[in-house]
Amino acid sequence: MNRLSSSGELTRWRALSVAVSTALLLFFAMPGYFGWWPLLFVALVPLLLATMYLPPLRSGCMGLLAGIIYNILTLHWIVVVLGRYGGLPPWLSVPAMVLLSIYMGLYFAFFCILLSLLSGRSWHRERSVATLVWTAPVLWVGLDYLRGVLFTGFPWLDLGYGLYSQPLLIQTADLGGHHVVSFALVLANGFIVAVIDRQRSAVRWNIRSERRALLFACCFLIFIFGYSIVRFRVMPSLVRHSLQTEVSVMQGNIAQDEKWSPEKKEKTIAIYERLSQQAVAQHTTELLVWPETALPFYPQQDPLAARVAGLVQRENTYLLTGAPTFSGAGVGKRQQVSYYNSALLYGPEGVIIDSYAKQHLVPFGEYVPLRKYLPFLAPLVENVGDFNAGASSRPLRVGNHLQPGVLICFESIFPEIARKEVTAGANLLVNLTNDAWYGRTSAPYQSLAMAVFRAVETKRSLVRAANTGISGFVDPVGNILEMTDIFTSAALTARIPVLEERTVFVRYGYIFGPACLALVPVLLLWRKHQL
């Protein structure tokens, strides 16, 4: 009896060590402070090995712990956003970050529970390891997709994003999006588990179906990364023969606690004027790009709007800038006014010729769900207003050849928004953002990593203008051509390719994630049939 208790205690400690090691390996692998991307190919091995032998409930607890630890390490910047800039005290901001980490950790838990049910050996001692190898990536990607759409979605830093700095390895994103890269990484981890499992003395080597399944997994990985390497080698020729355009981005580096100060708004415009004049004087730029809400006022009613229009007219160029806008009118109680987080396109004549309203708003940042029931969260939106969502994915038009699709702030982490804009005709992606909220944390680097994949998926150049950084340019292959440091004032100009082709991802490859999610109930029915 004592031996059983000791064994059980040892197993609990082993599960704890697996959870911690997996969380740390993932944290060190992902962009931010370390970015040791090779760890992505082994980070899930401890979790997969343990899940293969633990029963579902204990697997789920282990996965939940791993997910909570990993997300606390990854999402610690939430405390800065809610506390320093959102106005919440530590006794609210820290628990809010922990609650979000628990929510994100639930996906790890469900992954481990389902994997144990479908592929574990707690109920079948000699279950083929090939089942785990193929089931794990389907479950992981299916749950990633669910996390990206459930409760408005928060697909922050899915596994595949960890390879953003390696364009040689991520070109398959133009087939199935970043989800197919995540799929390949989980499959690679599972394949390593299979190699380890094959070393057991009791393994049955004569299972032909298992050998074929593992060989197919190996071939799939060769195809995924082989395609990526070939595509990476071919794209430069296409890029060189494409239309080129010169674009300049301005990084004003306006402090977040000063951004909306009425007495500082003229100084803000002066900074962007100086940076823009510097860019135009040194380059033949066709488009100036200012960050999200670079205009800290409503252009429809503020005299400073004329100063911006005058700048554009004098320099005889186009300007794309972020600004809050409103629409609607009325009298008395019937007055209906809607506010938007917008991107405004000024033409060379100094007038606004087009606009875009942000479609995917930040919950508890740009609007508060059930606000009347959560009055203590009101400070989160006092500085930026309570916005309405836009509905159009139509790209803007700059001259006769350039049609930028706009992604405001964290819209860049949603591949569907960029895909719809490219489908509607966008031949360039422009990400306007204000990452000052994040402070000097890992979040600006994580945000950039996700934006890189929007360029690769759609094979469109991406221009990024961030108030405090990171601003820069990403070519259609995912190479970061230029980038700024955070919390510096800068003006960057680059000559970037403008491509028109529509990738497999844009046409129908975007269904890869939903397809994996749809396979989950099919796998559960199959498992029930096997019992």
User: What is the predicted pLDDT for the residue at 332?
Assistant: 53
Of 72, 61, 139, 149, the closest CA to residue 106 belongs to: 61
Token pair 């415009």 in the structure block, residue: 269
Neighbour count for residue 318 (Cβ, 10 Å):
24
The alpha carbon of 524 is separated from its chain's Cα centroid by a whole number of angstroms, namely: 29
User: What is the predicted pLDDT for the residue at 411?
Assistant: 96
Instruction: Identify the residue with better confidence: 233 or 126.
Output: 233
Dist. CA 200–CA 53, nearest whole Å:
14
Give the confidence band of 384 by pLDDT, cuts at 50, 70, 90: very low
Dist. CA 369–CA 348, nearest whole Å:
40
Question: Cβ(321)–Cβ(295) under 8 Å?
Answer: yes
Q: Which CATH architecture has domain 242-327+335-500?
A: 4-Layer Sandwich (3.60)
Quick one: which H or E segment has residue 187?
Answer: helix 178-197
Dist. CA 353–CA 399, nearest whole Å:
11
What's the pTM? 0.93
Out of 358, 411, 416, 421, the active site residue is: 358
Residues 149-183: tens digit of each pLDDT: 998 899 999 999 999 999 999 999 999 999 999 99
Phi, psi for residue 474 in degrees, rounded to 5? -125, 130
- Mean pLDDT, the chain, whole residue set: 90
Residues 10-48: tens digit of each pLDDT: 477 888 899 999 999 999 999 999 999 999 999 999 999
Quick one: which H or E segment has residue 7?
Answer: helix 2-29
- The percentage of residues in the chain with a pLDDT greater than 90, rounded to a whole number, is 72
User: What is the predicted pLDDT for the residue at 373?
Assistant: 58
Residues 83-127: tens digit of each pLDDT: 887 778 889 889 999 999 999 999 999 999 999 999 988 776 677
Instruction: Identify the residue with better confidence: 213 or 276.
Output: 276
Question: Cβ(184)–Cβ(177) under 8 Å?
Answer: no
Residues 180-200: tens digit of each pLDDT: 999 999 999 999 999 988 776
Question: Cβ(177)–Cβ(452) under 8 Å?
Answer: no
Dist. CA 232–CA 158, nearest whole Å:
22
Q: Assign residue 21 a region: left if phi > 0, alpha if psi is -120 to 50, beta otherwise? A: alpha
User: What is the predicted pLDDT for the residue at 201?
Assistant: 65
User: What is the predicted pLDDT for the residue at 122?
Assistant: 78
Give the confidence band of 1 by pLDDT, cuts at 50, 70, 90: very low
State yes or no: is 409 an active-site residue: yes
Neighbour count for residue 192 (Cβ, 10 Å):
17
Of 277, 124, 137, 121, the closest CA to residue 216 belongs to: 137
Per the DSSP assignment, residues forming a β-bridge with 496 are 245
Token pair 């970015």 in the structure block, residue: 35
The distance in angstroms from the start CA to the end CA of the chain is 31
DSSP state of 485: P
What does the block give as tokens for 465?
């203008």
Count of residues making up the chain: 531
Residue 357: helix, strand or coil by DSSP?
Answer: strand
Q: Which amino acid is at 207?
A: I
Phi, psi for residue 472 in degrees, rounded to 5? 160, -165
State yes or no: is 219 an active-site residue: no
User: What is the predicted pLDDT for the residue at 210?
Assistant: 80
Kind of pairing, strands 352-357 and 318-327? Answer: unpaired
Residues contacting 516, CB < 8 A, separation 6+: 137, 138, 139, 141, 142, 145, 179, 183
> In this model, does residue 377 exceed pLDDT 60?
no
Phi, psi for residue 361 in degrees, rounded to 5? -80, 160
What does the block give as tokens for 130?
């090939």
User: What is the predicted pLDDT for the residue at 4?
Assistant: 37
Of 464, 422, 429, the closest CA to residue 447 belongs to: 464
User: What is the predicted pLDDT for the residue at 387?
Assistant: 85
Residues contacting 72, CB < 8 A, separation 6+: 97, 98, 101
Out of 61, 112, 409, 516, the active site residue is: 409
Kindly tell me the burial class for residue 200, based on how many C-beta atoms sit within 10 Å of its own C-beta (0-12, 13-18, 19 or more): exposed
Of 385, 494, 393, 487, the closest CA to residue 440 belongs to: 487
Out of 112, 259, 265, 292, the active site residue is: 292
Domain boundaries, the chain: 9-197+208-237+514-530, 242-327+335-500
Quick one: which H or E segment has residue 465?
Answer: strand 462-466
Integer Rg of the chain from CA: 25
User: What is the predicted pLDDT for the residue at 259?
Assistant: 77
Instruction: Identify the residue with better confidence: 500 or 9.
Output: 500
Question: In the chain, what are the helix, strand and coil shares in percent, each to the nearest 5?
Answer: 55, 15, 30
